[in-house]
């Protein structure tokens, strides 16, 4: 069962400049950064607040590290802006199967590693009214990270 908005993914050309904007404008601090080679992105997670289920909500900034990455291609077509929305769940595997059973295309056969040790999968935007949708199971507390996805 999806329990919260885990994060909003925002594609950007310059991760450091975009993070500085969010810090200066809204007071959001970068909690975590990493390069996800499989996804071809450099990313920063900005924690917004805690949630009732013990997780948190984030803004995820995504800068492509290569032009042929999914985010790089998306950025070339659409420019900077909201790339996807991610919902948190305790069971990404079970929820992906349940959603697949409702006729929505799940993009990965098996969930992959996301930010901070999470497990993730994506739903096809054409089946979600034009919105690329991610579902995320956060890493357990005290492991690779606290919280979020992608």
What string of DSSP letters covers 40-80?
TEEEEEEEEEE-TTS-EEEEEEEEESSTTSHHHHHHHHH-S
What was the pLDDT predicted at 55?
A: 76
Q: What is the pTM (predicted TM-score) of this model? A: 0.88
- Of 29, 34, 43, 134, catalytic: 134
What was the pLDDT predicted at 148?
A: 45
* pLDDT values of the chain reduced to their tens digit, one per residue, 150 residues: 898 999 999 999 999 999 999 999 999 999 999 999 999 999 999 999 877 776 789 999 999 999 999 999 999 999 999 999 999 999 999 999 999 999 999 999 999 999 999 999 999 999 999 999 999 999 887 765 544 445
DSSP-based three-state secondary structure for 132 = coil
What was the pLDDT predicted at 65?
A: 97
What was the pLDDT predicted at 1?
A: 85
Distance CA 85, CA 78 (A): 16
**Residue 38 known to be catalytic:** no
């Amino acid at each position: 069962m999806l329990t919260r908005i885990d994060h909003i993914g925002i594609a950007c050309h310059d991760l450091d400049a975009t993070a500085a904007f969010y810090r200066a404008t809204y007071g959001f601090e970068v909690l975590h950064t990493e390069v996800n080679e499989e996804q071809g992105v450099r990313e920063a997670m900005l924690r917004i607040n805690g949630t009732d289920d013990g997780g948190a909500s984030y803004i995820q900034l995504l800068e492509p590290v290569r032009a042929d990455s999914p985010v790089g291609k998306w950025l070339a077509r659409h420019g900077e802006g909201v790339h996807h929305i991610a919902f948190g769940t305790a069971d990404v595997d079970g929820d992906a199967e349940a959603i697949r059973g409702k006729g929505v295309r799940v993009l990965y056969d098996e969930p992959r590693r996301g930010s901070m040790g999470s497990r993730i999968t994506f739903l096809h935007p054409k089946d979600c009214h034009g919105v690329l949708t991610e579902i995320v199971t956060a890493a357990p507390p005290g492991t690779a990270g606290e919280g979020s996805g992608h």
